[in-house]
Homo-oligomer: A and B are copies of this chain.
Amino acid sequence: MLKPSVLKELKAIVGADNLSTSPEELVVYSYDATQRESLPWAVVRPVSPEEVSRILRLANQELFPVVPRGAGTGMSGGSVPVCGGVVLSFERMNSILEIDEENLLAVVEPGVVTGDLQREVEARGLFYPPDPASHKFCTLGGNVAECAGGLRAVKYGVTKDYVLGLEVVLPTGELIRTGARTVKSVAGYDLTKLIVGSEGTLGVVTKIILKLLPLPESVRTLSAFFPSADQAATAASRIMAGRIIPRALEFVDRGALRAVESHLHEDISGGAEAMLLVEVDGPADLTDREIGKIEELVQKTGASRVVRADTEKDRERIWKARRSISPALYALKPKKMNEDIVVPRSRIAEILREIGDIAKRYELMIVNFGHAGDGNIHTNIMHEAGEAAKAEKAVKEIFAAVLRLGGSISGEHGIGLSKAAYLPMELGQAALDAMQSIKRALDPKGILNPGKIFLNAECGVRNAE
């Protein structure tokens, strides 16, 4: 708990209106999309890097945890204040500061909603490709903290690939600038990319310089339905091996199809066992040619039906179905563990078979969908309240299979709380030690977002040494 003198100082920094301590307000900042919950001791809403810096200096002096928070849409518990402390909420730092059309970049504050930036730049014929499913709610600060991925990573990469530079308050309160307003810059270590994806444990981002691209001239979309998951996975591999890089290449399995069809009261697939959703972008003559080639290719691989989404309305309809999968799954079972494994794309058919075997062995319903183009599959272990231990065992087996195939236990959700126990499986002790030594170097008192990523992180803060 915070001493009254500390609360007084926090109030002096952000103003009384921007400090919350009442239980009904605190509860709003206690959870994320994992449904994990932990009440903070206070919430502050800073408006400038200087305020953030003063709060962190105070935290180092008085030894309380500080937890940065965007919109709370994270999928691994990154913003859940599991050790209590003070939540730094960025709802007041939500301005698009600049859209530089000549240099194809934008400068934003961390509280800007991703979809708002996308809309603004698209109106100017520009494009910010990273596209997490929560883009209508999530913030760019949160995207940076977790290195959010999304649907378009297969062609365009992830958040990290668009962050040119940052303004960051280090855990000890110093304000630094990293990177530059240029694509090239090699002045010292790449602190930009170290901060991106560090889940709010190495620094608090207060400004972001993002690279933009010209908006593609046209988009073509197609859905293909298959009599087996294996054929769909094979078709996905063949599209990529055919040297076409679609901007989205999504896989949806039987369980997810049935769930979303029942959720939307609509027969989308005609009883198919799996669906691919493919989208290409670029100049119109090129996309017409590519989507034609893809159509031919999926048909040769055994697609029972192929549907082109020719109008914007058709596109919206099919993407709505894709976006509805996650909520629709709750109709199947009351609980789900939502993993986001990633394997080299040629191993997708293999990992799906292994997951099928694991599901059978543990008598669990496991539903798979996601980004076949980049190998990032959302594996949902559906279970009843009493089956958590069994589900966790299955998860561990799935992760072991993923690592055997040269993949990673998290493609885009981050480690946070929910995957910390499994991280040593992927990294090994020496790499974990290296990461933790960096954490200690930048945050000697363990102030910033404690309890995340590393299982052995102490809850609470260290005493001054």
Interface residues of A (CB under 8 A from B): 100-105, 125, 146-147, 149, 153-154, 157-158, 160-161, 170, 174-178, 180-191, 193-194, 196-198, 202, 213-214, 237, 240-241, 243-245, 282-283, 285-286, 289, 342-346, 371, 374-376, 406-415, 419, 423, 426-428, 430-435, 437-442, 453
Report the Cα distance A156→B198, complex, angstroms.
25
Complex contacts, A410 vs chain B, CB 8 Å: 185-187
Asked whether, in the complex, the Cβ of A408 is within 8 Å of the Cβ of B187, the reply is yes
Asked whether, in the complex, the Cβ of B243 is within 8 Å of the Cβ of A374, the reply is no
Asked whether, in the complex, the Cβ of B187 is within 8 Å of the Cβ of A102, the reply is no
Complex contacts, A175 vs chain B, CB 8 Å: 430
Complex contacts, A442 vs chain B, CB 8 Å: 434, 437-438
Asked whether, in the complex, the Cβ of A104 is within 8 Å of the Cβ of B431, the reply is no
Number of copies: 2
Q: A344-B100, A431-B176 are in contact. Are A187 and B415 (CB under 8 A)?
A: yes
Quick one: closest B residue to A185, CB to CB? Answer: B408
Least CB distance from A432 to B in Å reads 7
Complex contacts, A344 vs chain B, CB 8 Å: 100, 102-103, 105, 181-182
Report the Cα distance A214→B155, complex, angstroms.
12
Asked whether, in the complex, the Cβ of A190 is within 8 Å of the Cβ of B160, the reply is yes
Complex contacts, A409 vs chain B, CB 8 Å: 187
Asked whether, in the complex, the Cβ of B412 is within 8 Å of the Cβ of A186, the reply is yes
Report the Cα distance A408→B161, complex, angstroms.
18
Quick one: closest B residue to A175, CB to CB? Answer: B430
Complex contacts, A375 vs chain B, CB 8 Å: 182-184
Asked whether, in the complex, the Cβ of A191 is within 8 Å of the Cβ of B434, the reply is yes
Report the Cα distance A439→B453, complex, angstroms.
22
Report the Cα distance A219→B153, complex, angstroms.
26
Q: A188-B432, A194-B190, A197-B186 are in contact. Are A180 and B440 (CB under 8 A)?
A: no
Complex contacts, A160 vs chain B, CB 8 Å: 190, 193
